[in-house]
Chain A
Amino acid sequence: MSLVERSARFGTARASRKGTPGAAVLGRFEARIAGWFLPALLLVVWEVLSRVGYLAPNVLPAPSAVASAGWQVLKSGELIHHMAVSTARALAGLAVGGSIGFVLGIANGLSDLTRRYSDTTLQMIRNIPHLALIPLVILWFGIEEEAKLFLVALGVFFPIYINTLHGVRSVDPQLIEMGRAYGMTRWTLFRDVVLPGALPSIFVGLRFALGIMWLTLIVAETIAAESGLAHMAMQAREFLLVDIVVLAIVIYALLGKLADVVTTVLERASLKWHPSFQKTEG
């Protein structure tokens, strides 16, 4: 905690040293776009190399070619359709696997009894790479929706479970004792002490889960699907449409960034009390 606090204070000191308000605004703008500098530079270099003929278009088409291919599939509605299908699958899997992981994590964090009986089993299953189940899943479900849902749910379950469990078990015991001494009921103790105390760790789990969610879905759609982003890429491969394949890969990167932004927004909203999320006023 103290380290976090110190780094937060460090940040303010640096920001205030800039002096004039104009410079401060400029500084904030710079901080916001700094992360996009490298991707933009990469795009420029890539475009130049394609234009001078160093990169053959059938190996790696220029960014402009990818963009125009993207515009074509966007106009035809094909891209929107595949993205919608993929997003629905991803979120459904996250909802199912995430809520099971959350509930089990809370239960095993609070009760030694359920933990004794279930933790060993869960730890064993955890060490099986869930993508290794693809052949089995195809045998069970074919290439229907259930297959993707099952794999994504299984993939996101573990990071959420483990981090929820860890969060609940590492809530400051002194605060729990205080709650008991002040007559909190079990429910109040959970709502006001345990859950908020576990929340930072649960968010770490969510971040991992979002990464695994896309990874699992893309692999599953590449192997066995009739729609979705990765299916679109596989179809494009059959027709040697390299630009569409590259487009799909770029979209994966953007979706990853999007998931990260959403988690950060959620974190900021629910961890306002945390010193490392407090904006300094004035």
Chain B
Amino acid sequence: MNAPLRPLNVPQRAAEPPVAGGIAASFNAVRRDFGAKRVLDGIDLQIEAGQFIAIVGKSGCGKSTLLRLLAGLDQPSGGSITSDGKPLEGLTRIMFQEPRLLPWQRVLANVEVGLPPEVRGEQRHERALAALAQVGLADRAGEWPSVLSGGQKQRVALARALISGPQILALDEPLGALDALTRIEMQRLVERIWREQGFTTVLVTHDVSEAVALADRIILIDDGRIALDLDVPLPRPRRRGNADSARLEGLILERLLGS
């Protein structure tokens, strides 16, 4: 794994950006129990291919559990999660709240973690460098993760999630711990890459304005059920703080706090 670190001004041509396109996903009467507690109670949700969907809700409403089921980190107690009738296996990549980089591997090797083992040798480095370039960190390939800032670490984690060309990207509040400015930068980065590659994106967040800024559609989960399913018909690129998004935010917040 100790990849010999190559000079960083290597042309990034050979590493083909994996074309994804995204697939649909559907939750069919999905339940999840932890002991006697029912965390998800009959979730029916159709996510269209290439859609950017945000899931909001209070802490403990089950939104992270939903995402973990989608990513295959957990199994439903009842119901199923499919894509065009077939099970979803290995097509989803998850990005966590924390960067979860391996501290003992350099940035480049950390990105290579996202590659399937079939990709070998030089190809690995080239694709990892291309993925790093995509998040604007190609010049940090040789660093240890410990010297990066929080936002940079999350960008490396994003490169790691994207390098295999996932069909679905599951984001578990990955921007929650960042400061406000870095957060907006990261939102723009995620949006840009999503528009270039067109994978289906499911973002779990507690930040309603983030959901309104990014998503095509917002799902509000309350007490294990879908309480609100809302399209966000705002044109892109979106400007923050305009009247339409403020109105939508207000609507969702009212529903979140009111119930």
Contact = CB atoms under 8 A, between A and B. Distances in A.
Given A177-B73, A182-B160, A273-B105, A278 B116 contact: no
A178 interface: yes
Interface in B95-126: 96, 98, 100, 102-106, 113-114, 116-117
Interface in B69-92: 71-73, 90
Contacts of B104: 196-197, 199, 271, 273-274
A178 to B, nearest CB: 4
Contact of B105 (A184, A188, A192, A199): A192
A175 B104 CA distance: 12
A280 B30 CA distance: 52
Interface of A: 5, 174-175, 177-185, 188, 191-193, 196-197, 199, 271-275, 278
Nearest to A199: B104
Nearest to B106: A273
Given A193-B102, A196-B102, A274-B103, A178 B144 contact: no
Contacts of A271: 104
B131 interface: no
B146 interface: yes
B94 interface: yes
Given A178-B100, A183-B90, A192 B113 contact: yes
A192 B102 contact: yes
> 9 shortest A-B CB distances, which residue pairs?
A196-B104, A273-B104, A178-B100, A275-B146, A273-B144, A181-B94, A174-B100, A273-B103, A182-B113
A278 B102 contact: no
A105 to B, nearest CB: 19
B14 interface: no
B105 to A, nearest CB: 7
A19 B100 CA distance: 38
Nearest to B114: A182
B249 to A, nearest CB: 31
Contact of A181 (B73, B102, B147): B73
Contacts, number: 51
B1 interface: yes
B100 A273 contact: no
Which of A175, A178, A273 has the most B CB atoms < 10 Å from its CB?
A: A178
Interface string B202-229: 0000000000000000000000000000
A175 B102 contact: yes
**Size class of the contact patch on chain B:** 20 to 34
A183 B116 contact: yes
Nearest to A200: B104
20 contacts: A5-B146, A174-B96, A174-B98, A177-B73, A178-B100, A179-B113, A180-B73, A181-B94, A182-B113, A182-B114, A192-B102, A192-B113, A196-B104, A196-B105, A197-B104, A199-B104, A273-B104, A273-B144, A274-B104, A278-B146
A185 B117 contact: yes
B73 A278 contact: no
Contacts of B116: 183
A181 B170 CA distance: 11
Contacts of B146: 5, 273, 275, 278
A8 to B, nearest CB: 10
Contacts of A185: 117
B235 to A, nearest CB: 34
A163 to B, nearest CB: 18
Contacts of A274: 103-104
Given A174-B98, A175-B100, A181 B71 contact: yes
Contacts of A197: 104
Nearest to A271: B104
Contacts of B98: 174
B190 to A, nearest CB: 18
Nearest to B71: A181
Contacts of B117: 185, 188
Given A181-B73, A273-B104, A274-B103, 20 more contacts: A174-B100, A175-B102, A178-B96, A178-B100, A181-B71, A181-B72, A182-B160, A183-B90, A183-B116, A184-B113, A185-B117, A191-B1, A192-B102, A196-B102, A197-B104, A271-B104, A273-B106, A273-B146, A274-B104, A278-B144
Which of A5, A174, A183, A185 has the most B CB atoms < 10 Å from its CB?
A: A183
Nearest to A191: B1
Nearest to A273: B104
B147 to A, nearest CB: 8
A185 B116 CA distance: 11
A34 to B, nearest CB: 28
Contacts of A180: 73
A191 B117 CA distance: 14
A272 B98 CA distance: 23
Nearest to A174: B100
Nearest to A195: B104
Nearest to A193: B102
B72 to A, nearest CB: 7
